[in-house]
A = this chain, B = another copy of it.
Amino acid sequence: MNAPAPALPAERDADVLVIGAGPAGLHAAFYAAWRGLNVTVLDARHEPGGQLTALYPDRRVYDVPGLPATPAADVIAALVRQLDGLPVRLRPGTLARTLEPDGDGWRVGTTGADGPRTFRTGAVILAAGLGALLPREARVPGTHPDVRTDVPDPARLAGRRVLIVGGVPQATRAALELAQAGAQVTLTHRRAGFRGSPAELDALSEAGRSGQLTVLAPAVLLNVTPTGAALTVDGQPRDVPADTVLILNGYLPDLNPLQSWPLQWQGEYVPDGPDGRTALPGVFVVGDLAASGQDFKLISVGLAQAAVAANHAAHHVRPELRVRPGHSSEKRLS
């Protein structure tokens, strides 16, 4: 175990394709790679972490074993660090759409920043949680040439006037990153408070004080205009000129493309056998998406399911590998 990964069969992009880079997906990737398999992890978002980085990166998680009172973003950072040196490729911004048999493996079609793609793989581990976390739609009256619900590459916005609307951690982070990259940032939210890690909130106050960016909150966004947006701040109307308007209202999970896959769905869950097997050979399910855990969702449970399924996936793809991984410490009784 933990041997250098043997070369992939030429026709495959991965031995194991993990769909979803939340905690369960990251740990499944770790274990499959640690068994010597080549792993690719897809995620619809631009960063790993699933719900932890999308919905509550600023909150502490108390119940991940061995990580007491740890900010959710740091839980993810630790799981990502565990992939160091292993043959795991993360493919952010990639949405899984189709599943087709491919010899004794599978072919997964995706869309994303790089356009449509196909991944050929020996096994699939579904770790898609509640579904792909897609940005909430912006419903803002008026017209403006560049209204977005995602955060573009900061370098592309250097020197431009950017209005960011939203109180979620992503809005705070985007404001800091874009200001840092040289954009002229105005951050606004309908409430006075913003969300973020203590360090981010400190940085936001400091950037506001020093004039590195402008914070208008509480404020109401009335509409966008061809040259910016109209707000109400303290009851007074105010026009904010902007080349780009980012409406960041968090994420909504979408199971849509996956739910057409023939997995005998039970509502929003995929039935799982004892080792995470689904109805399809070589397709496994772990974490919040697995039906067995539907009334008891804990990160630790998803992580354990991931470890078990990854070992079974390893054996499925390379039958010469035993299912049982042995002890990672190679301990001897002494």
Contacts and interface: CB of A to CB of B under 8 A. Distances in A.
Q: Which 7 A-B pairs have the closest CB atoms?
A: A304-B304, A68-B82, A66-B78, A62-B328, A63-B328, A59-B329, A56-B331
A138 to B, nearest CB: 15
The A contact surface, by secondary structure, is loop
Interface of A: 2, 23, 27, 30-31, 34, 51, 55-56, 59-68, 72, 75, 78-79, 81-82, 84, 167-168, 195, 250, 295-298, 300-301, 303-308, 311, 323-325, 327-334
B195 A55 contact: no
Given A75-B66, A78-B67, A307 B300 contact: yes
Contacts of A167: 334
Contacts of A308: 296, 298, 301
Number of copies: 2
Nearest to A333: B55
Contacts of A311: 296
Given A296-B311, A298-B325, A301-B304, 4 more contacts: A55-B333, A66-B75, A67-B67, A168-B334
B329 A61 contact: yes
A49 to B, nearest CB: 12
Contact of A300 (B61, B168, B300, B324): B300
